[in-house]
Amino acid sequence: MRVYNFSAGPSMLFEDVLKEAQASFLDYENSGMSVTEMSHRAKVYDGIHNECLALFTELMKVPDDYQVLLLQGGASQQFDAIPLNLISATGKADYVVTGNFANLAYKSAKKYGDIALAASSEDKTYTYIPKVTIDSFRKDASYVHITSNNTIFGTRWKEFPETPCPLVADVSSEILSRDIDVSKFGLLYAGAQKNISAAGLTVVIVRKDLIGKELPICPTMLAYKTQADKNSLYNTPPAFSIYIAMLTLRHIKKMGGISAINKINVEKAAMLYDFIDNSTLFKNYVNKEDRSIMNVPFVTGSEELDAKFVKEAAANGLVSIKGHRLVGGMRASIYNAMPVEGVKKLIEFMKKFELENK
Ligand SMILES: *Cc1c(COP(=O)(O)O)cnc(C)c1O
């Protein structure tokens, strides 16, 4: 039996995508083989690779002066790749630290230049997004880095900041969930395992004029130019993950695109927050206007009850709802592929749990 999987990542994929992958697993489009077995130089693979790139470009309305790169190494690898590729402009970069991943990106960058902490929400355990203006950033920074959705703490930048230089955002846990104006950014990046595909693929969308400026010490495989010049086929790509991404993108297109899916996401999140805000047992500590619509953390106030909730939820087919080890409690990740029905089931279960544990 399939369960509702509230994991923060890897997370649920659309059932249609899984079924289609299953149906063509042994023999993809009469090639006589699986996508996991075929040469990345074969024509049949070219179709998958290029459709994936084209669908990203179409659905995210990627302008002509940007390039989509299909990479490996996870979002975490970009914590080094970004400074290595972008800091050469002035040797300086500014970071806003709004959570654990933002902090890891900030710490990695420090190896490569003069890195400033422009703002942080650590003072209140990352329960809000700091207010920044263009004056929060150094005029001579090469770029400003933010984490658009904070997976562990459940916050997100509703509006993006004005910056005096290219804005770079880690969109790992919200890519494809809402319309993002790519032209406002120098670079966007995301690990695939939350809202796109199976793990193994990292998507980078970068403005073309920022490619080819890597530091001399930049490893060949981390330089954007290496893959940009070769249509992301410099070496063997994570073909299966790219294939699943292509199926996911096709599915989103069929649903009406990103704005259509965003509507459903907003509804799902509103239902859950509304229940929590009216609950006598469950609480969400995030500043209301900064709440994520992808990751919803909540607590009962008792560690014992939290543990009981996680256990009983799992027994009811609502799995991986335990909060991150850094914050405890619970966290429901309700990415694109989490059906409305899954959120309704969760709320029903929370209601029942609340009554039974007064
Ligand atoms: C999950 C996550 C990461 C880490 O991704 P990996 O692909 O495992 O390296 C980084 N940033 C954010 C915002 C995430 O949610």
- Same domain, residue pair 106 and 161: yes
- Same domain, residue pair 275 and 315: yes
Side chain identity, residue 196: I
Nearest-atom number in ligand 1 for the CA of 152 is: 15
Q: Whose CA is nearest to atom 3 of ligand 1?
A: 75
Residue 351 CA, ligand 1 centroid: distance in Å: 32
Tens-place pLDDT, residues 136-180: 999 999 999 999 999 999 999 999 999 999 999 999 999 999 999
Nearest-atom number in ligand 1 for the CA of 148 is: 13
- Rounded mean pLDDT, 301-319: 97
Whole-angstrom distance, CA of residue 50 vs CA of residue 42: 12
Chain-centroid distance of CA 254 in Å reads 21
- Same domain, residue pair 276 and 196: no
Whole-angstrom distance, CA of residue 317 vs CA of residue 346: 9
The DSSP code sequence of 169-189 is EE-TTTTTTS---GGG-SEEE
* % the chain with pLDDT above 70: 100
- Same domain, residue pair 247 and 305: no
C-alpha closest to that of 336 among 22, 68, 55, 17: 17
Residue found under tokens 């993950």:
241
135 confidence band (pLDDT: 50, 70, 90)? very high
Q: Whose CA is nearest to atom 5 of ligand 1?
A: 75
- Same domain, residue pair 216 and 343: no
- Same domain, residue pair 43 and 137: yes
Tens-place pLDDT, residues 224-283: 999 999 999 999 999 999 999 999 999 999 999 999 999 999 999 999 999 999 999 999
Write down the pLDDT at residue 63: 98
CATH number at residue 58: 3.40.640.10
Residue 358 CA, ligand 1 centroid: distance in Å: 37
Write down the pLDDT at residue 358: 82
Q: What share of the chain is helix, strand, coil (3-state, %, to 5)?
A: 40, 15, 45
The domain boundary, picked from 209, 235, 255, lies at 255
- Same domain, residue pair 203 and 280: no
> Quick one: tokens of 280?
């006598």
100 confidence band (pLDDT: 50, 70, 90)? very high
Protein residues with CB under 6 Å of any ligand 1 atom = 9, 74-76, 101, 147, 151, 170, 172-173, 191, 194
- Same domain, residue pair 219 and 87: yes
- Same domain, residue pair 223 and 269: no
C-alpha closest to that of 66 among 188, 155, 161, 163: 188
The domain boundary, picked from 221, 239, 255, lies at 255
- The answer to whether residues 201 and 185 touch, using CB atoms and an 8 Å cutoff, is no
Chain-centroid distance of CA 150 in Å reads 9
Write down the pLDDT at residue 326: 87
Residues near 348 by beta carbon (within 8 Å), at least 6 away in sequence: none
- Same domain, residue pair 44 and 77: yes
Chain-centroid distance of CA 308 in Å reads 29
Q: Whose CA is nearest to atom 10 of ligand 1?
A: 75
> Quick one: tokens of 235?
């070496």
Tens-place pLDDT, residues 174-211: 999 999 999 999 999 999 999 999 999 999 999 999 99
- Same domain, residue pair 219 and 268: no
Write down the pLDDT at residue 334: 98
Residue 79 CA, ligand 1 centroid: distance in Å: 10
How many folded domains does the chain comprise? 2
Whole-angstrom distance, CA of residue 213 vs CA of residue 242: 27
- Rounded mean pLDDT, 280-304: 97
Residue 353 CA, ligand 1 centroid: distance in Å: 31
- The answer to whether residues 151 and 171 touch, using CB atoms and an 8 Å cutoff, is no
Nearest-atom number in ligand 1 for the CA of 173 is: 15
Q: Whose CA is nearest to atom 14 of ligand 1?
A: 172
Residue 172 CA, ligand 1 centroid: distance in Å: 6
The DSSP code sequence of 31-84 is SSS-TTTS-TTSHHHHHHHHHHHHHHHHHTT--TTEEEEEE-SHHHHHHHHHHH
Write down the pLDDT at residue 288: 97
Residue 281 CA, ligand 1 centroid: distance in Å: 30
- The answer to whether residues 194 and 8 touch, using CB atoms and an 8 Å cutoff, is yes
* % the chain with pLDDT above 90: 99
347 confidence band (pLDDT: 50, 70, 90)? very high
Nearest-atom number in ligand 1 for the CA of 191 is: 7
Write down the pLDDT at residue 15: 97
CATH number at residue 261: 3.90.1150.10
Q: Whose CA is nearest to atom 13 of ligand 1?
A: 172
- The answer to whether residues 193 and 199 touch, using CB atoms and an 8 Å cutoff, is yes
Whole-angstrom distance, CA of residue 345 vs CA of residue 324: 22
Q: Which helix (H) or strand (E) holds 262?
A: helix 258-277
Q: Whose CA is nearest to atom 2 of ligand 1?
A: 172
Give me the chain's average pLDDT, please: 98
Nearest-atom number in ligand 1 for the CA of 171 is: 13
Distances from the Cα of 226 to the Cα of 157, 253, 277, angstroms: 31, 30, 49
The domain boundary, picked from 237, 255, 273, lies at 255
Give the structural domain span for 230.
Answer: 16-255
Write down the pLDDT at residue 238: 98
C-alpha closest to that of 193 among 328, 64, 320: 320
- Same domain, residue pair 150 and 272: no
Write down the pLDDT at residue 251: 98
